[in-house]
Amino acid sequence: MKIKVVTDSTSDLPKEVCRDLDIAVIPLNVHFGDTVFQDGVDLTNDEFYRKLESSPAFPQTSTKPPGTFAETYGRLAEEADAILSIHVSDRLSGTLNAARLGSLEARVPVELIDSQSASMGLGLLTILAARMARDGASMEDIKSRLDRAIPMTVAYGLFDTLQYLQKGGRIGRAQALIGSLLRIKPVIAIKQGAVVPLRKARTVSQGLSMLCDLALARGMPQELSVMQTSDAASADILAQRLAQSYPVERIYRARIGPVIGCHVGPRAVGVSVIYGPA
C-alpha cells in the first residue's frame, strides 16, 4: 500500500527533508495589506523578516481554501493508495477544517491528523509519518504511532519581544508593554494544541539555557529540532549545547517561516522535541 504524506507550511520543514521523504507541503498565506504571499513560494524567509520589521502594515495569515487541498489530494491520488494529511493544531488555525472539506471527494482514503502542535513540532511528527510510509508501514500502524507521539510532542520558543504576540492577539497590550519595559524575553511552549507561557528570561543567554533545560528535562528525546527566525547565531549556540547530550547528527535545523513568524517575530529561537517512547 503506497501512502503519501501531506502537511502545511507551518511545519517549517526544510525543503531537503521534504524532498528526501517525499512530503507534500501546502503553503499557507501571508497578507501585507492587500498583497498576498504564499509561504515559502513567493516570499522567502529573509524577505519576510525584512518586511516584518520595515512594513507599516502588520501581516495577517490565512489558510488555503478547501479547493487547494482537494487539488493536492487529487494529484497525489494518481500515485497513492491512501493519503495521510497532518496539520497545525486545530486550536491555532482553521487549516485542518479546510483539509477536511477538501478531502470529501478524494479518490483515495484521506486520513486527517491534528498534530496539536506547530512549527517543527508538527514537522517532526510529519517526518515520523513519512519515514514509516517510505518503509512500507500500514496506515493503521502510522496512525497508532502518531497517536502515541502527539501527546509527547512539545515546541518551545524564546521570543525577543512580546509585541508580535500582542499584535497577533495572544496576549494583552498592557502585558506586552510591561514586558517591553522590563526587557523580558518570554519562553513559551506549544503542547496539546495550546500556547502556554512557561518562563521569563532577562537575557538571550539565560533564555537559551532555559530552552536547553526544558528540551532535556524529560529524558532523551526521540526526535529533536532547533529552529530560528533571523538569529542564526543563537540557534547555533543552542544546537551546540544540546549536542553535548544529544547526537548532533540527529538534530534537525529549520527556519521558522512567515506564517509562524508573524506571531513570534524576528530573533526568535526554538527547540521542538518528541519525547519517548514514541
CATH of the domain at 268: 3.30.1180.10
Q: How far apart are CA 197 and CA 210, in angstroms?
A: 13
Query: Binning pLDDT at 50, 70 and 90, where does residue 40 land?
Result: confident
- Is the residue at 35 inside a domain? no
User: Peptide bond preceding 258: is omega within 30 degrees of 0, i.e. cis?
Assistant: no
- Enter the C-alpha cell of residue 70: 482537494
Question: With 50 as the cut, is the pLDDT of residue 86 above it?
Answer: yes
Q: Which residues are CB-neighbours of 246 under 8 A, at least 6 positions away?
A: 216, 220, 221, 224
Q: What is the mean pLDDT of the chain?
A: 91
- SS3 of residue 89 by DSSP: coil
Reported as a single tens digit per residue, the pLDDT across 170-226 is 444 434 334 443 467 888 899 888 888 888 898 999 999 999 999 999 888 999 999
Q: Hey, is 8 helix, strand or coil? A: strand
Boundary-marking domain end, from 120, 151, 182: 151
Q: Which helix (H) or strand (E) holds 64?
A: none
Q: How much is the pLDDT for 277? A: 65
What's the pLDDT tens digit per position in 41-71? Answer: 998 999 999 999 888 888 999 999 999 999 9
C-alpha cell at 227: 529552529
What dihedral angle (degrees, nearest 10) is formed by the CA atoms of 186, 190, 191, 195? Answer: 80
Contact 168, 261 (CB under 8 A): no
Instruction: Give the CA count within 13 Å in the CB-facing half-sphere of 64.
Output: 23
Q: Which domain holds residue 156?
A: 152-275
What pLDDT shows up at residue 175?
45
C-alpha angle with apex 135: 132 to 140, nearest 5 degrees?
45
Query: Distance of CA 62 to CAs 223, 225, 245, 268, Å?
Result: 29, 25, 38, 21
- Residue 169 shares a structural domain with residue 269: yes
The strand order across the sheet containing 60-62 reads: 35-38, 29-32, 60-62
Residues of the chain with pLDDT > 90, as a percent, come to 75
Place of cell 497545525: 88
> Span 146-166, mean pLDDT?
88
Regarding whether 183 and 122 lie in a shared domain, the answer is no
Total domain count, the chain: 2
Q: How many residues does the chain have?
A: 278
Are 131 and 97 spatial neighbours (Cβ–Cβ below 8 Å)? no
Cell of 269: 529561537
**157-176: pLDDT as tens digits:** 999 877 776 665 544 443 43
Beta bridge partners of 111: 84
Query: Does 16 lie in the same domain as 100?
Result: yes
Are 222 and 167 members of one domain? Answer: yes
Structure confidence at residue 14 as a pLDDT band (50, 70, 90): very high
| 114 and 19 in a common domain | yes
pLDDT for 88-99, tens place per residue? Answer: 999 999 999 999
Q: Where among 88, 121, 151 does a domain terminate?
A: 151
Of 91, 61, 87, 63, the residue nearest 191 (C-alpha): 91
- CA 228 – CA 270 distance, rounded (Å): 6
